[in-house]
Amino acid sequence: MTVVLTILGILFVVVGVGVSIALHEIGHLVPAKLFGVKAPQYMIGFGPTLWSRRFGETEYGLKAIPLGGYVRMIGMFPPKGKGEDEHHLRPSSTGRWAAMVDDARTQSMEEVRPGDEDRVFYKLKSWQKVIVMLGGPVMNLVIATVLIGGVLMGHGVFVERGAKVASVVECVRPAGADATRPCTEQDRPTPAAQAGLLPGDRIVSIGGIAVDGTAAVGRVVRPSAGKALPVVVEREGRQQTLTITPITNALPRLDRHGAPVTGSDGTPQTVQTGYIGMQSAPVGQVERQPIAAVPGAVGNAVAQTAGVIFEIPEKMVGITKAAFGSGERDPNGPISVVGVGRIGGEIASGQVQGLEGTTSRLITEIMLIASLNVALFVFNLIPLLPLDGGHVVGAVWEAMRRGFARITRRPDPGYVDVAKGLPVAYAMSIVLIVMGGLLIYADIVRPVKLG
């Protein structure tokens, strides 16, 4: 049964990724057709064509490698500008790049037939180009918003209303010591054990501060080493007050959100701070959220994803060490489609701790697809070719040049030659291929573990 559930979880992710890619490309195709651009091909995947069918002037199909998709529009790049002599002698290296750029121009124009001269992409108005190229990423954002909104409003999210004692560490051990070793008489009891805290105690307040969640426990305990703290707990329906004096110990460093901070190699960073020897768990319930909560949730997801993308160079160092050494994978780092599929299988088969029941697993699978769409939205906005953001930058620069020319009453400077950025696109493509291959390898030999 576990194997069947794992396969179903992987298939759920595969279908979710496929639909997300298909709708991303629809986001490009629909506005392009509305603005009159001829689009000969709409393809999901790369490599050999597995299936295709022509409807009107566009061929729709599936290709063998399902790692993306594309809409081919005629005339993506403008022809050479006046004064650009292709026979002019240039250094060999420059000449090779120029030849590649010229080939790209030729390919973008080779399907232009008589009567199609005004249906080329490069002749669109600048704002139309921006809409066409933003259509794909925006479609991913819409998918993510619908999925996140559906979960928040239809099912709800767990809302913390307090904290309880999940477990109590009986004795103090140095950082890195074997936590499974039984305590002896020579070991010093932890402040929590000494004070008499018991698993299941609901923590009402610490040091006179009301506890509204697990993060509140750390906020009070960590800076209070050596200071006696009154702790009010609720046990079997009655409140009682205990006194706990935190000691100084090496604990994981936390960021402002309460998440552990890791180094570039994924190793958790530690700090000397207050410690009582207790693990807390949240107390609360699943509550449906109003529609007003959806934009904030989507915005937080976008901000967190953007933060990860900005840290990709540093994260890739840790991934390399984990893939070819003994380092651990950072659970907050990037993963490949293979990794996403593997996580989907583990969620469906119940291998992730804390996910009990079919409903919670399905909700987690849905949020996994939503997170993937957020990542596609943010990643495609990077202002470099061949990503959508690179074409958007070209269109915006074109609008700025033409606007400045109108204000200063100068001649129209013409279309921005995005083709000149193709050397950057080729270099970026190589980087993406190498990164993708490394991530896939790491997700196979040293996968990210949830729960």
Q: Tell me the residue type at 295.
A: P
Contact 434, 312 (CB under 8 A): no
Residue 287 vs residues 203, 294, 331, 369: alpha-carbon distances, Å: 22, 14, 27, 22
Directed axis angle between helix 126-150 and helix 358-380, to 10°? 160
SS (H, E, C) 258-326: CCECECCCCCECEEEEEECCEEEEEEEEEECCCCCHHHHHHHHHHHHHHHHHHCHHHHHHHHHHHHHCC
Q: Assess contact for 266 and 330: CB atoms under 8 A.
A: yes
State the Cα torsion 343-344-345-350 to the nearest 10°: 90
Which residues are marked as active site? 25
Burial letters 79-106, b for 16+ CB under 10 A, else e: eeeeeeeeeeeeeeeeeeebeebeebbe
Looking only at the bridges linking them, the beta strands covering 247-252 and 270-275 are: antiparallel
